[in-house]
């Protein structure tokens, strides 16, 4: 007789009180349990139908073994922790030894998302049990899952790939094991061969269609080249034994070129004289020319619309399929933990006319130019330009060059947003706020040329800012750093920033752009120039020639200090003392035998004290001063 599980015998879950179980079914099930316990060596195990029943029975000694045999998700072998009457049970095996083959019963779901239960329970550990279920229908998607007692597994074939559409058919026995860290149900049986063949044929058809529409083609010889369709072969690689080369299609009238071609550089289509266009040799060797009008003519390969190279060929070219945070081509831009390494950069690939993506340690785009052998002019390695010309009615932003650099946790190398490596292999040429030395040869690391636009536009309005250090939501620990070895040493100083006369550094007081403070130089001649130098324990005001005019010295324990303030009309300026002391002195220290020299003081001369025209014998009061450390009194009188 078939052994039925307790839920079936007792009328479902929860068990129904009005159900009268069949005694023969009960006896058969108990006999099966006894035989399992005996056959599997469970004679010394405490049997429990459910984990809840086991957890409620702690009257067993430590290290007692128990088996839970009919509780989906909790079945397995347990060991008692703690003394009898206390402690807990700990699972040491999440399946029943001897039950390595598990039957899965389909309970619902769809053909692509199957729901099932396991009897006995299915372990989530990889490869410890083999399970079998019968497919409820034919799959209509390559993404197929099976949920067993609440745990969902992705169905994979024996080779570890998704099943093809129709690879699983109604009633097919699906035999497999848990794999990939408890996330896959990996089949040990195969898919339906007819579906596999159909998928292979479809892939072949797609490949042929792609090959028919691909921009690049190959041709065995010039005859085969002339037979190609230009719409699907704008660039062709010719594989002739005598000459292997690249050819491009030009659709303009080339009949004159074809007629005068003595070098086999033009191949018109079969039966055409070149008036409808022709394939033109691109050449494996440079012509040395740059323009088509040069002699010989430069070989130019035109690419219409967009060009994707390197890993960027993975981009499908559609606008809606690529989200802002997705970068289709850079599979290497996704870390092992599935963290996107290029968040928010999908727009680059989606909107690029040219995109070339590469992996670690490679250069995606490089430019190099030189002036050797050229005429007067400029050589530019990489150039970019932009025009914000939408007009006043539309708000649009424009960047001539944009870069995005991101460092991720654990990365030890330096991350640069932009680096310019500048070298001078010639003579030293000085540059200044008023221009470089005569004779040319100046080298500049970065030059921001501020202007109003081309002369033809007649614009001369000032730009908003030459350089701005802004925030993208984060902060920089420092705004500018001048490396200690980057600046030329003039002996007594190095120049970090140079500005012309009347230039100032200024600070705004608030968001209303109110001027708060500034430093400005109005010096127009070296003979009247001044400098401020910070030395060890001293701040010095000096002339351009190094003539020291005024020192402010540092006292490490100072709590009192001088202050100077101007005076309004009718009041003189003030030189005063402040500090934390209640009555701090003002000390005037002379060098050597020097004295205090008060200039421009009018002094009246009187006769003897007390005389008619002399000062009175008794002063009005005394001013206390300290001379050589001792208090002294200086009398003063009314005038």
Instruction: Look at residue 494 in the predicted model and tell me its pLDDT.
Output: 92
> Does residue 145 have a pLDDT over 90?
yes
| Structure-model confidence comparison of residues 351 and 205, the more confident one | 351
What average pLDDT does range 586-608 have in this prediction?
67
Strand 101-109, strand 130-134: pairing: parallel
| Structure-model confidence comparison of residues 243 and 15, the more confident one | 243
Strand 630-636, strand 621-627: pairing: antiparallel
| Structure-model confidence comparison of residues 123 and 414, the more confident one | 414
User: CA nearest 441: which of 426, 420, 421, 419?
Assistant: 426
Cβ atoms of residues 120 and 96 within 8 Å: yes
The residues, any chain, with a CB within 8 Å of residue 349's CB and separated by 6 or more, are 312, 315, 322, 327, 328, 329, 355, 357
Instruction: Look at residue 121 in the predicted model and tell me its pLDDT.
Output: 75
**Alpha helices (H) in 117-215, listed in sequence order:** 193-213
* Cα 434 from Cα 105, distance rounded (Å): 88
Cβ atoms of residues 371 and 379 within 8 Å: yes
> Does residue 184 have a pLDDT over 80?
yes
What average pLDDT does range 95-116 have in this prediction?
82
* Cα 80 from Cα 436, distance rounded (Å): 88
* Cα 188 from Cα 290, distance rounded (Å): 63
Query: For 17-30, what is each residue's pLDDT tens digit?
Result: 566 777 777 777 66
Lowest mean pLDDT among 65-74, 133-142, 552-561: 65-74
| Structure-model confidence comparison of residues 331 and 88, the more confident one | 88
Q: Where are the domains of the chain?
A: 99-213, 214-304, 308-357, 480-556
Highest mean pLDDT among 107-116, 155-164, 234-243, 285-294: 107-116
Backbone angles phi, psi at 333, to 5 degrees: -85, 5
Instruction: Look at residue 539 in the predicted model and tell me its pLDDT.
Output: 93
> Does residue 606 have a pLDDT over 80?
no
The helices-and-strands tally (H runs, E runs) of the chain is 7, 27
Query: For 411-437, what is each residue's pLDDT tens digit?
Result: 888 988 888 888 988 888 899 988 888
Banded pLDDT at 569 (limits 50, 70, 90): very high
Average pLDDT, the chain: 78
Instruction: Look at residue 590 in the predicted model and tell me its pLDDT.
Output: 83
| Structure-model confidence comparison of residues 564 and 314, the more confident one | 564
What average pLDDT does range 180-185 have in this prediction?
89
* Cα 332 from Cα 342, distance rounded (Å): 10
Instruction: Look at residue 612 in the predicted model and tell me its pLDDT.
Output: 44
Task: List Cα–Cα distances, 516 to 229, 254, 470, 480, in angstroms.
Answer: 72, 71, 20, 22
Banded pLDDT at 446 (limits 50, 70, 90): confident
Query: For 43-72, what is each residue's pLDDT tens digit?
Result: 567 888 888 998 999 988 888 888 887 787
Strand 65-68, strand 46-48: pairing: parallel
DSSP state of 462: P
């Amino acid at each position: 007789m078939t052994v039925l599980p307790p839920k079936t015998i007792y009328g479902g879950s929860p068990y129904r009180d009005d159900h009268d179980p069949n005694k023969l079914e009960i006896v058969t099930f108990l006999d099966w349990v006894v035989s399992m316990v005996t056959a599997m060596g469970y004679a010394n195990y405490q049997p429990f139908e459910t984990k809840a029943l086991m957890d409620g029975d702690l009257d067993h000694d430590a290290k007692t073994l128990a088996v839970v045999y009919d509780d989906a998700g909790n079945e397995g072998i347990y060991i008692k922790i703690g003394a009898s009457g206390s402690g807990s049970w700990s699972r040491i095996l999440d399946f029943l030894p001897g039950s390595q083959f598990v039957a899965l019963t389909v309970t619902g779901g769809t053909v692509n998302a199957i729901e099932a239960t396991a009897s006995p329970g299915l372990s989530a550990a990889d490869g410890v049990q083999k399970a079998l279920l019968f497919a409820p229908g034919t799959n209509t998607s390559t993404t197929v899952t099976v949920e067993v007692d609440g745990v969902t597994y992705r169905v994979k074939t024996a080779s570890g790939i998704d099943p093809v559409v129709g690879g699983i058919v109604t009633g097919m026995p699906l035999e497999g094991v848990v794999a990939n860290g408890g996330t896959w149900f990996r089949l040990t049986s195969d898919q339906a061969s007819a579906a596999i063949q159909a998928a292979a044929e479809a892939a072949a058809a797609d490949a042929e269609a792609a090959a028919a529409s691909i921009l690049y083609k190959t041709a065995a010889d010039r005859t085969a080249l002339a037979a190609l369709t230009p719409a699907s072969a704008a660039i062709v690689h010719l594989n002739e034994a005598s000459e292997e080369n690249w050819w491009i299609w030009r659709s303009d009238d080339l009949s004159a070129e074809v007629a005068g071609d003595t070098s086999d550089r033009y191949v018109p289509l079969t039966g055409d004289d070149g008036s409808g266009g022709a394939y033109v040799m691109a050449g494996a060797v440079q012509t040395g020319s740059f323009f088509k009008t040069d002699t010989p003519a430069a070989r130019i390969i035109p690419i219409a619309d967009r060009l994707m190279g390197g890993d960027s060929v993975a981009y499908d070219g559609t606008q809606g399929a690529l989200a802002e945070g997705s970068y289709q081509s850079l599979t290497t831009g996704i870390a092992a933990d599935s963290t996107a390494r290029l968040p928010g950069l999908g727009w680059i690939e989606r909107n690029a006319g040219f995109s070339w993506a590469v992996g670690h340690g490679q250069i995606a785009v490089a430019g190099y130019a030189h002036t050797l052998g050229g005429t007067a002019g400029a050589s530019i390695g990489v150039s970019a330009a932009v025009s914000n010309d939408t007009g006043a009615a539309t708000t649009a932003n424009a960047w001539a060059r944009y870069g995005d650099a991101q460092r991720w946790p654990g990365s030890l190398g330096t991350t640069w947003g932009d680096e310019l490596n500048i070298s001078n292999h010639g003579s030293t040429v000085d540059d200044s706020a008023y221009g470089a030395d005569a004779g040319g040869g100046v080298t500049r690391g970065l030059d921001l040329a501020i202007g109003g636009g081309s002369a033809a536009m007649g614009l001369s309005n000032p730009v908003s800012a030459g350089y701005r250090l802004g925030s993208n939501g984060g902060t920089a620990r420092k705004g500018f750093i001048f490396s200690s070895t980057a600046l030329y040493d003039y002996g007594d100083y190095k120049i970090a920033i140079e500005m012309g006369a009347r230039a100032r550094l200024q600070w705004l007081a608030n968001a209303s752009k109110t001027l708060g403070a500034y430093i400005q130089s109005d010096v127009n001649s070296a003979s009247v120039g001044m400098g401020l130098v910070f030395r060890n324990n001293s701040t010095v005001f000096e002339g351009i020639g190094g003539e020291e005019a005024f020192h402010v010295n540092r006292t490490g324990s100072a709590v009192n200090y001088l202050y100077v303030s101007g005076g309004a009309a009718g009041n003189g300026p003030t030189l005063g003392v402040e500090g934390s002391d209640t009555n701090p002195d003002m000390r005037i220290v002379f060098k050597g035998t020097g004295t205090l020299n008060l200039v421009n003081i009018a002094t009246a001369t009187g006769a003897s004290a007390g005389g008619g025209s002399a000062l009175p014998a008794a002063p009005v009061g005394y001013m206390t001063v300290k001379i050589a450390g001792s208090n002294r009194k200086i009398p003063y009188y009314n005038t």
